[in-house]
């Protein structure tokens, strides 16, 4: 067991410094997938429609694979560790029955027969099973892999021939979490080994739910993208193991603050008696809490769970207009991240409002950005009460620095809709993440739902850059979205 954890392409130009690479990313539109899907109306298809609508709202990037380069769209996932691409002969790509069954179709594929740099590592050696029992299987290969104009030579990845997912994944987690017993250097290790970046670390800034874009910066920190000091906490070793396999940190408190200033703390006794790890996973669209924490949050906000069909929790769409001062507070060793309730309301049901069960009492229902782990199929993974998984609905309000190098997480309140950058390069040889401070107060601009194409500028080695306007959206970025079950994988 290992813990780790479709339609808009990224249009990007990128620049590299000595140890910092930047690239822009763009968010998808909920409900839009890579392929055209058949119309669905029956209730037994309802859960799959919801999954597709959720995953359509993710973050996508263009990379190239092979020589000559073949364009491939991938998903960035901090909760897994393997990169994999689809073969044009993959079952899902060629079988209409499977496309109907899984309500997905394939994006760009990679054809190994058209590349001069392809090399087979292990036939049938790649196999991952996700928490929803979805799988991706195929060969392990090595191939040249280009992202942000930078080529990683001989990157090991999966070449998938059997899958229920129509888009490849770029996992950037710990190598201990790769889907094979023989550990190999994944992309974050290779970026460092090939001296493209200096430190195995990257910073994630998703921006708010209305924004079309966010950024990931490899090898650096953008101090204009967060507010106040960057709070540094240790990454926990995975339960029962003496190694780091996932980006888990201590989750120490939860509460709700209302617009009138009153507040309610949630299940403080649980935090006093239980070591509760939180996995920070960009590859999960939603966030998941143990039932003992999720249920009180649902009660406080009037959210209702559909126990009849999907097991998913919904909330009244009226909360989209909530005052941003109404927040859910997540605490990590003394640092609180405040997530506005309106950031947790996903208006993705569209025409499927009519198939909602009668137990959902709203005139217009929205998906709630927090779900209970009680509804996970945990028979092959983890006990539901033992962890929280904080996905994009949480991460959009946080600025997170993931350091594989130092086994540390840096976390701060995101400065939403920032339109400038001040990038600090992370230096090889540093014993820890640096103590840095962001802006003193939040930006005042609102997010947009329109897609913006960004051109990056050159960075001098070791520089701190201050830029204005849309340049701030350009960072070495690949993007992330996963199935609704998200981020936890079991690898064989």
Distance CA 417, CA 224 (A): 10
C-alpha dihedral, 220 to 212 to 81 to 137, nearest 10°: -160
The H or E element that residue 291 is part of is helix 291-301
Q: Residues 77, 82, 104, 222: which is the catalytic one?
A: 77
Q: Is 155 helix (H, G, I), strand (E, B) or coil?
A: strand
Give me the catalytic one of 144, 222, 281, 316: 281
Q: Are 481 and 391 in contact (CB under 8 A)?
A: no
- CA–CA distance from 216 to each of 25, 221, 224, 336, 474 (Å)? 8, 9, 14, 22, 9
State the Cα–Cα distance between residues 433 and 189, nearest whole angstrom: 17
Distance CA 58, CA 52 (A): 11
Q: Using CA of residue 180, residue 182, residue 183, residue 186, what is the dihedral sign?
A: negative
Burial class of residue 458 in the structure, from the number of CB atoms within 10 Å of its CB (0-12 exposed, 13-18 middle, 19+ buried): exposed
Is 144 designated active site? no
The enclosing H or E element of 75 equals strand 70-77
Asked if 463 and 223 touch (Cβ cutoff 8 Å), the reply is no
104 in active site: no
DSSP reduced 3-state for 229: strand
Q: How far apart are CA 447 and CA 95, in angstroms?
A: 40
Cβ atoms within 10 A of the Cβ of 164, count?
Answer: 18
Cβ(409)–Cβ(403) below 8 Å? yes
Token code pair at residue 138: 């195929």
Burial class (CB within 10 angstroms; exposed 0-12, middle 13-18, buried 19+) of 113: exposed
**Exposed / middle / buried, residue 275 (Cβ in 10 Å: 0-12, 13-18, 19+):** exposed
Rounded Cα distance between 449 and 212, Å, is 5
Residue 54, exposed/middle/buried by CB under 10 A (0-12, 13-18, 19+)? buried
CA 16 – CA 12 distance, rounded (Å): 13
Q: What amino acid positions are annotated as catalytic residues?
A: 77, 281
């Amino acid at each position: 067991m290992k813990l780790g954890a479709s339609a808009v392409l990224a249009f990007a130009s990128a620049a590299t410094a000595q140890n910092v690479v930047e690239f822009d990313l763009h968010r998808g539109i909920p409900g839009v997938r890579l392929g055209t899907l058949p119309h669905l109306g029956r209730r037994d298809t309802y859960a799959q429609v919801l999954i597709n609508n959720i995953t359509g709202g993710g973050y996508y990037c263009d990379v190239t694979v092979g020589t000559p380069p073949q364009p491939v769209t991938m998903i960035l996932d901090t909760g897994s560790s393997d990169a994999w691409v689809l073969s044009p002969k993959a079952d899902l790509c060629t079988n209409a029955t499977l496309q109907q069954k899984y309500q997905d179709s394939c994006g760009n594929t990679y054809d190994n027969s058209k590349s001069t740099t392809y090399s087979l590592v292990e036939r049938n050696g790649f196999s991952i099973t996700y928490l929803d029992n979805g799988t991706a299987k195929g060969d392990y290969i090595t191939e040249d892999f280009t992202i942000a104009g930078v080529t990683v030579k001989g990157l090991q990845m999966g070449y998938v021939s059997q899958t229920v997912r129509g888009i490849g994944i770029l996992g950037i987690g710990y190598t201990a979490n790769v889907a094979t017993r023989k550990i190999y250097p994944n992309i974050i290790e290779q970026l460092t080994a090939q001296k493209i970046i200096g430190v195995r670390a990257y910073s994630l800034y998703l921006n708010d739910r209305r924004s079309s874009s966010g950024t990931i910066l490899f090898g650096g920190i953008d101090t204009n993208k967060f507010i106040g000091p960057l709070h540094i906490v240790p990454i926990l070793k995975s339960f029962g193991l003496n190694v780091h396999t996932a980006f888990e940190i201590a989750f120490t408190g939860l509460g709700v603050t209302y617009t009138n200033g009153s507040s309610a703390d949630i299940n403080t006794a649980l935090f006093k008696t239980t070591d509760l790890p939180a996995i920070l996973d960009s590859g999960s669209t939603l966030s998941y809490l143990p039932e003992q924490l999720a249920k009180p949050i649902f009660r406080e906000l009037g959210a209702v769970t559909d126990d009849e069909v999907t097991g998913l929790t919904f909330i009244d769409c009226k909360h989209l207009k909530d005052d941003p001062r109404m927040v859910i507070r997540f605490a990590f060793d003394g640092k609180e991240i405040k997530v506005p309730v309106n950031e947790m309301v996903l208006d993705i049901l569209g025409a499927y409002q009519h198939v909602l069960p009668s137990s959902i009492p709203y005139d217009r229902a929205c998906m709630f950005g927090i779900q209970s782990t009680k509804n996970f199929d945990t028979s092959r993974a983890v006990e539901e009460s033992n962890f929280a998984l904080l996905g994009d609905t949480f991460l959009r309000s946080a600025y997170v620095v993931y350091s594989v190098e130092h086994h540390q997480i840096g976390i701060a309140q995101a400065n939403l809709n920032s339109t400038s950058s001040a990038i600090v390069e992370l230096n090889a040889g540093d014993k820890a993440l640096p103590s840095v401070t962001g802006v003193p107060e939040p930006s005042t601009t609102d997010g947009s739902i329109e897609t913006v194409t960004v051109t990056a500028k050159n960075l001098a080695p070791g520089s701190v850059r201050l830029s204005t306007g849309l340049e701030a959206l350009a960072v070495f970025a690949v993007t992330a979205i996963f199935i609704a079950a998200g981020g936890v994988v079991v690898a064989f």
